[in-house]
């Protein structure tokens, strides 16, 4: 689960523009429960695209760096569970924010999949042979660095034993999917940037607020799972 206590929401700094407004409810509001097979089936059957509804609405004129993140799923005591990290407060960028394990593609990485599992091993000690690749979520361009990010979903056959790298991770959060779809956890806002309204997603966990690129990926995962369950 997320950090201790019972109060939802955390100290993360949300840089809202002057013009913003509350928006729609969760598209999975009728989703009562999710199984691991639902999540895996949804991702396996999904055709990802490059989206422009995320932190950046246009792709930069010149190709920026490529990055990959790992979206791990395993069966926990409370059902399918994913793994998030909280970045340390001493980091120069995105201090204290919640993220999936991941980072920039290195020239030595054979593929973005290798980037994702290498970063997961470096950040939380996930053994690189444990993740079984399931599929991909939508690619998007970050608003801050114009990095093209590829989220890759992986299944873990057993709950992993993880150890945070203190230089990169303040805490490891094991978050059940049931918590993400529970009433009152998700909310959506619209922010007015560059003469248009953009959807922003938020998950109020116990002690933490997930927003930005990580929330966008979670929204994508849950939205396609909702569609997969409805078609069963």
Whether the per-residue pLDDT at 58 is higher than 90: the answer is no
- Residues 150-168, mean pLDDT to the nearest whole number: 96
Q: What is the pLDDT of residue 43?
A: 98
The pLDDT tens digits of the residues spanning 131-145 come to: 999 999 999 887 655
Structural domains of the chain in order of their starting residue, each with its CATH number: 33-173+216-227 (3.90.79.10)
Please provide the DSSP assignment of the chain as one string.
--SSSS-B--S------SSEEE-PPPTTTT-----HHHHHHHHHT----EESSSS-SS--SS---EEEEEEEEEEETTEEEEEEEE--TT-SSSTT-EE-SEEEPPTT-SSHHHHHHHHHHHHH---TTS-EEEEE--EEE-TTT--EEEEEEEEESSPPP----TTT-SEEEEEEHHHHTSTTTEEEEEEEETTEEEEEEEEEEBTEEEEHHHHHHHHHHHHHHHHHHHH-
């Amino acid at each position: 689960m997320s950090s201790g206590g019972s109060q939802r929401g955390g100290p993360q700094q949300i840089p809202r523009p002057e013009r913003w407004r509350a928006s729609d409810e969760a598209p999975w509001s009728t989703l009562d429960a999710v199984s691991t097979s639902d999540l895996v089936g949804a991702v396996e059957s999904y055709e990802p695209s490059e989206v422009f509804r995320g932190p950046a609405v246009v792709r930069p004129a010149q190709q920026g760096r490529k990055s990959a993140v790992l979206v791990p799923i395993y069966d926990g005591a409370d059902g399918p569970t994913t793994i998030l990290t909280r970045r340390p407060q001493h980091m120069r960028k995105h201090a204290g924010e919640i993220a999936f394990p991941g980072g920039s593609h290195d020239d030595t990485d054979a593929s973005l999949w290798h980037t994702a599992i290498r970063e997961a091993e470096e950040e939380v000690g996930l053994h690189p042979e444990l993740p079984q690749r399931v599929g991909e979520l939508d690619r998007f361009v970050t608003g801050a660095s114009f990095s093209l990010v590829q989220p890759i979903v992986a299944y873990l056959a057993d709950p992993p034993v993880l150890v945070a790298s203190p230089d990169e991770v303040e805490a490891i959060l094991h978050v059940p999917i049931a918590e993400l779809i529970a009433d009152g956890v998700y909310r959506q806002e619209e922010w007015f940037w560059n003469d248009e309204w953009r959807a922003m997603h938020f998950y109020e966990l116990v002690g933490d607020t997930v927003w930005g690129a990580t929330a966008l990926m979670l929204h994508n995962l849950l939205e396609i799972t909702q569609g997969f369950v409805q078609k069963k």
